[in-house]
Chains A and B, each alone.
Chain A
Amino acid sequence: MESEFETLVIGGGLVGASVAMGIASKGRSVAVLDGGDSDFRASRGNFGLTWVQGKGAENPAYARLNIFGAGLWPSFSEELEGATGVPIGYRKPGGLEFCLTEQEWIDRSEEMRLVSHHTDGEFTYEMLDHDEVKKRVPLISDSVLGASYSPHDGHLNPLYLLRALQQNMISLGCRYLPNQKVASVIRDQDGFKLHTKDRQFFADRIVLCCGLDNSRLAQQLGMHIPVEPVRGQLLVTERVAPFLSMPSLQVRQTCEGTLQIGDSHEHTDLDDGTSLSMITKIASRAVKIFPHLENVHLNRAWGALRIMTPDGLPVYHQSEQYPGAFAVSCHSGVTLSVVHAGMVADWICGSEPHHLINAFSADRFNV
Chain B
Amino acid sequence: MFKRIDSNQNINLNTHTVDIIFEGQTLPVPAGISVAAALLFVDAGFNRESAISGSPRSSYCMMGVCFECLVEIDGKLSQRGCQTEVLQGMSINRQVLTLKAGF
- A-side residues, CB < 8 A to B, are 238-243, 256-257, 292, 295-297
Contact = CB atoms under 8 A, between A and B. Distances in A.
Nearest to A297: B78
A240 B103 contact: no
A297 B98 CA distance: 11
B52 A257 contact: yes
Contact of A296 (B52, B97, B98): B98
B99 interface: yes
A292 B78 contact: no
Interface in B39-82: 50-52, 67, 70, 77-78
B32 interface: no
Residue among A239, A241, A292, A296 with most chain B CB within 10 A: A241
Contacts of A257: 51-52
A263 to B, nearest CB: 22
A292 B51 contact: no
B89 interface: no
A239 B51 contact: yes
B65 to A, nearest CB: 12
Contacts of A296: 78, 98
Summarize A's interface: helix, strand, loop or mixed: loop
Contact of A295 (B52, B70, B77): B77
A297 B78 CA distance: 8
6 contacts: A239-B50, A240-B51, A241-B100, A257-B52, A295-B102, A297-B78
Contact of A239 (B52, B100, B102, B103): B52
Lowest 7 A-B CB distances belong to which pairs? Answer: A241-B99, A239-B51, A257-B52, A292-B103, A240-B98, A241-B97, A241-B51
Interface in B7-55: 50-52
B99 A238 contact: no
Contacts of B100: 241
Contacts of B51: 239-241, 257
Residue among B50, B70, B99 with most chain A CB within 10 A: B99
Contacts of B78: 238, 296-297
Nearest to B98: A240
A297 B70 CA distance: 12
B81 to A, nearest CB: 15
A241 B99 CA distance: 6
Given A241-B97, A242-B52, 13 more contacts: A238-B70, A238-B78, A239-B50, A239-B51, A239-B52, A239-B98, A240-B98, A241-B52, A241-B99, A257-B51, A257-B52, A296-B78, A296-B98
B51 to A, nearest CB: 4
A292 B103 CA distance: 7
Contacts of A297: 78
B49 to A, nearest CB: 10
Given A256-B52, A257-B52, A295-B77, A240 B99 contact: yes
